Amino acid sequence: MTAPLPQLILLPGLLNDAELWRDQISGLADVARIWVPDLAPYATLREMAQSVLDKAEPTFALAGFSMGGYVAQEIARIAPERIERLALLDTSIRVDTPERAAQRKALNKAAAKGQTFIGIGQAIMKSYVDASRLSDTDLTGRIVDMTQRLGRDVFLRQNSLEREDGEAALRALRVPLVIIVGENDQITPAPGHHEMAKAIGCSHLLVIPKTGHMTPMEAPGPVNGALRHWLQRPAGKR
């Protein structure tokens, strides 16, 4: 009798939904039972994390992208014993710098004023995907549609989240870890992921060449390969 597949919870980032993980949902279905929680209704990281824990199985594999990485860190604070393995993609474990906090306030102010919310539009797409992908209308169209679908209120709520330092919570985990980042990620740059890996004791770091911030959508092959390897690593080995 074969063992049941593990539950894999994929946490989306700011203004993201299950579309972010489309290629992982299909590409990893043979090694995990996948669930993408809806984080849009919640106003704090604690509320997001608790909503996931309330619906999740007793133990699970957990992957967080960007904002979802901060949600994963909050889950690690609340219920570390329920996490079987953890993946962090294009995220950070640090609080916002004063400059980043000021930038968020400016973005919220601008978003609140507009007559029509355009989501992640073409004007700022160059900071989200690698320059080589800006002409890929299927990719950029999926991103624009996803962010427009979630809308202004979700953006204002999620962009206002107070982010906490996650180093202590992650260092305490004794589970398989992997960190993934695009080489040209401008939102959460690759050097920060090297620092993150060192800080939390993670020896599995993948930097994907010619890729920006949106690695699950830009580079599904490498991301799926790394997550498949991570899911199959022996429990207890970081």
User: Are the beta carbons of 197 and 203 closer than 8 angstroms?
Assistant: yes
Query: Maximum distance among all alpha carbons in the chain?
Result: 59
Question: Six-digit token pair at 100?
Answer: 């980043």
What's the whole-number average pLDDT of the chain? Answer: 93
How far is 74 from 72, CA to CA, in rounded Å? 5
Predicted pLDDT of residue 26: 98
Element at 148 (helix H, strand E): helix 137-159
How far is 194 from 206, CA to CA, in rounded Å? 10
Element at 62 (helix H, strand E): strand 60-65
pLDDT average per 10 residues of sequence, the chain (238 residues): 87 97 98 98 97 98 98 98 98 90 82 73 86 96 93 91 94 97 97 97 97 98 98 83
Predicted pLDDT of residue 124: 83
% of the chain exceeding 70 in pLDDT? 97
Predicted pLDDT of residue 141: 94
Which strands, in side-by-side order, build the sheet including 177-182?
A: 33-35, 7-11, 60-65, 83-89, 177-182, 205-208
Predicted pLDDT of residue 74: 98
How far is 3 from 130, CA to CA, in rounded Å? 40
User: Are the beta carbons of 199 and 105 closer than 8 angstroms?
Assistant: no
Question: Six-digit token pair at 66?
Answer: 């960007």
Predicted pLDDT of residue 102: 86
**Helices 137-159 and 98-113: angle between axes, nearest 10 degrees:** 100
How far is 27 from 21, CA to CA, in rounded Å? 10
Question: Six-digit token pair at 185?
Answer: 């990620």
